[in-house]
Structure 1
Amino acid sequence: MPFFTTRARTPRLAPELDDVELARLLKRLRSTNRSSPAGATDIYVAQIAQFLDQDPQNFDRRAHRLSVLAGFLSESHLPAAWVQREPRNVSALILCSWAELEHSRGSRVLTDGSATWSRCQLAASLDPQNPAPWVVMLGIARLERAHRGQVFEIWDEIVARDRWHREAYLSMLHYLGPQESGSLGQAIDFVDSLLTRMPPNAPCAAVELEVHLMRYHSAKARGGAEALLARDQWHSTQTARFLDRAQDTWPRAAFFSHAAAVSDLNLLAYALTAAGRLRGAAPVFEAIGGRVTRWPWNSEGDPLAVFEYARNRAR
């Protein structure tokens, strides 16, 4: 992937990461939304449909694009309008359901959970090999506090279709974590169970780093002496070995090939600066090239300001 750049770029929030075509679509949607006359819904829908028709069997790339579009359109009428026009279009069904899931993040309540679920089931029946409808169903099950057995059944459906699906592994990690149905110990056990089988450059490789961040932020949130000593966790033998491997391999242009690799590099840059490994963080910031993700930088404040301060320290 084209990570490296010859100059430091001004930091900007880039949900599209390094997907140039997705960035162009988002730009068109912003500009047409401002300048197009009323009743131009068909124009917007056609742009989205044409874009999502590309490379239909690349489930990793499609999941990234659907996720970004769902967040971008979570307050828009466009996903629902597309489904109304094409009620059996798989991409329309998934995008509409995913957008509704994103819209519910704040309130933690789906407006019509049964309808959202039904659209996912229809999409799954129309495209049986596609893991994306099941990924959305996993998000719905988490949101609605479904029975654990049901959650794991959905999880099994995803990994049967895409063994190392990034979004699914991160979703399960947080489901098993202390903020939802489990505990920090359960989240750690989940990741430990993967390490002997998961390829080091798998699309879901960031789950190992995410669980270290979960433990770090849990210690900081408890306050007192634990918060003061939270940084020490980065120097434990297992965590230090992981950071050694990641800082050596992850920034290499040919190491990762999945769509959200830049997001993983943001996680790594944050972790390395939190651990005081500024020299190791420098090439990671270079690989990021100013494409900032909200998480994990927003855990410390304004994500752009925190990112730029950390990058300047690494220089």
Structure 2
Amino acid sequence: MRSAGGARPAYDPAGHDGALRAALQELRAGRWMSMRTLLEQTTTWWQWTQRTQVLAAAAAGTDVVRAWRAEEPHSVAAAVMHARVAVERALRAHREDHRRTRELWREGWHASDTATRVAPHDPVPWVCLLALARLDGERHWAQHRVAPPEPMLPPGPWGLLAQAAERDPYNREAHHRMLQFLYPRDASGRLAGAAGFAQWAAGSAPPGSALHVLPLYVRVERYRRSGGRDAALDLHWVSEDATREADQAFHSWFTLTHRAERSLLDLNHLAHALWGALRFREAAQVFDALGPYCTPLPWACRAPGANGPDRAVEVFLQARTRSRSAAREGGRRP
């Protein structure tokens, strides 16, 4: 689906998932029945993980999930959503350096730990515990400094990742939570540990897995930490490694999946990487798959300053226009 001409894209957490969008509207109005129905109808772990995450982000500032649990105290889905919401609140408090961070962290941990027993086959409670691991900055908890499966990888919450993978191999969010744990532990800006992890995960993932996109996130984070100092010639994006990562993600993930299997964030990171690598024909295909949607990242890393959000959309539009124009004229342009 192609956005009309130069139509301005919008951010929508539901993306192409119309059923999720409808449930979000009901949730924001204080009603939980549509959320319950949506989760009952969710049949894949990928969609379950994605939908519970988006719903929790919307529910974290409300009492909707608490009301659901009060009405249906034995609901497994409500218990998982309770864990999701508790973790989302703890992460927000951490980002804001709120005085209740430790208290909310404990609440999130207990809710997630309970959910691992209530929903023993569900990867999401383990994803929640992985998400909370980043709050343990000094790695006081033994489960956050487990030896890695490969000698060149850093220690971390590998046991939690293994639990999530046992229930849903190559779970996308679990691996992103692992990246978020590793980022703060490399003050050099090179992100060697995170980059090694992303390459390891992508290298072991089967065709069609979203883990093939992971290295693109590390490249954006590295660029962001550099302050965009190499932006003049954009050599960061056209290097041999960057081009190889973009090509790998396109051919090993994008061309092998359908729209319902792709997250907006992954599509935006791939479009950004292909545009940066001058792979305009491939980038145009990804922009077409995005349709009317975009996400603030990674475009915001090219648009620092007070007008970052608006400027990020402008960068997206420039990249989309350039890619489509170049694709029509022959695919690549030096």
TM-score above 0.5, yes or no: yes
Give distance in 2, aligned partners of 1:85 and 1:182: 47
- Give % identity: 28
| More displaced stretch, 65-74 vs 304-313 | 304-313
Partner of residue 103, structure 1: 89
Instruction: Name the amino acid aligned to 1:173.
Output: L
Partner of residue 239, structure 2: 236
Quick check: 1:176–1:182 contact (8 Å CA) kept in 2? Answer: no
Give distance in 1, aligned partners of 2:45 and 2:175: 14
1:144 aligns to 2:130 (yes or no): no
How many corresponding residue pairs?
Answer: 294
Q: TM-score, normalised by structure 1?
A: 0.82
Partner of residue 154, structure 2: none
Quick check: 1:64–1:259 contact (8 Å CA) kept in 2? Answer: no
| More displaced stretch, 271-280 vs 14-23 | 271-280
Quick check: 1:155–1:168 contact (8 Å CA) kept in 2? Answer: yes
Deviation at 1:28, TM superposition (A): 3.5
Relative to structure 1, is the Cα distance of residues 259 and 207 closer, same or farther in structure 2, using a 3 angstrom cutoff? same
Partner of residue 288, structure 1: 290
Give distance in 2, aligned partners of 1:16 and 1:266: 14
Unaligned runs of 5+ in 2: 95-100, 147-156, 325-334
Write out per-residue CA displacement over residues 51-78 of structure 1, whole angstroms, 9 at most, x where no aligned residue. Answer: 111135x111011000111111221111
Relative to structure 1, is the Cα distance of residues 61 and 98 closer, same or farther in structure 2, using a 3 angstrom cutoff? same
| More displaced stretch, 280-289 vs 6-15 | 6-15
Quick check: 1:249–1:255 contact (8 Å CA) kept in 2? Answer: no
Relative to structure 1, is the Cα distance of residues 110 and 90 closer, same or farther in structure 2, using a 3 angstrom cutoff? farther
Give distance in 1, aligned partners of 2:179 and 2:192: 11
Q: Which of the pair has the greater relative contact order for Cα pairs under 8 Å at 6+ separation? A: 1
Give distance in 2, aligned partners of 1:195 and 1:293: 23
Deviation at 1:297, TM superposition (A): 2.4
1:20 aligns to 2:18 (yes or no): yes
Partner of residue 175, structure 2: 169
Deviation at 1:256, TM superposition (A): 4.7
Q: TM-score, normalised by structure 2?
A: 0.78
Partner of residue 36, structure 1: none
1:197 aligns to 2:199 (yes or no): no
Q: Aligned Cα RMSD in Å?
A: 2.7
Give distance in 2, aligned partners of 1:182 and 1:91: 39
| More displaced stretch, 154-163 vs 5-14 | 5-14
Deviation at 1:7, TM superposition (A): 4.1
Task: Give matches, 1:266-277, under 5 Å.
Answer: 266-277=268-279
Give distance in 1, aligned partners of 2:36 and 2:18: 17
Write out per-residue CA displacement over residues 179-228 of structure 1, whole angstroms, 9 at most, x where no aligned residue. Answer: 3467601011112323432123113222122122223323335x4xx555
Instruction: Name the amino acid aligned to 1:142.
Output: R
1:154 aligns to 2:135 (yes or no): no
Quick check: 1:203–1:258 contact (8 Å CA) kept in 2? Answer: no
Q: 1:55 aligns with which of 24, 35, 42?
A: 42
Quick check: 1:123–1:133 contact (8 Å CA) kept in 2? Answer: yes
Write out per-residue CA displacement over residues 147-193 of structure 1, whole angstroms, 9 at most, x where no aligned residue. Answer: 3336222112111111100001111112112x346760101111232
Partner of residue 220, structure 1: 227
Give distance in 1, aligned partners of 2:187 and 2:82: 29
Give distance in 2, aligned partners of 1:298 and 1:73: 26
Instruction: Name the amino acid aligned to 1:198.
Output: A
| More displaced stretch, 81-90 vs 114-123 | 81-90
Relative to structure 1, is the Cα distance of residues 106 and 117 closer, same or farther in structure 2, using a 3 angstrom cutoff? closer
Deviation at 1:260, TM superposition (A): 3.6
Deviation at 1:5, TM superposition (A): 3.7
Unaligned runs of 5+ in 1: 34-40
Relative to structure 1, is the Cα distance of residues 258 and 158 closer, same or farther in structure 2, using a 3 angstrom cutoff? farther
Relative to structure 1, is the Cα distance of residues 249 and 181 closer, same or farther in structure 2, using a 3 angstrom cutoff? closer
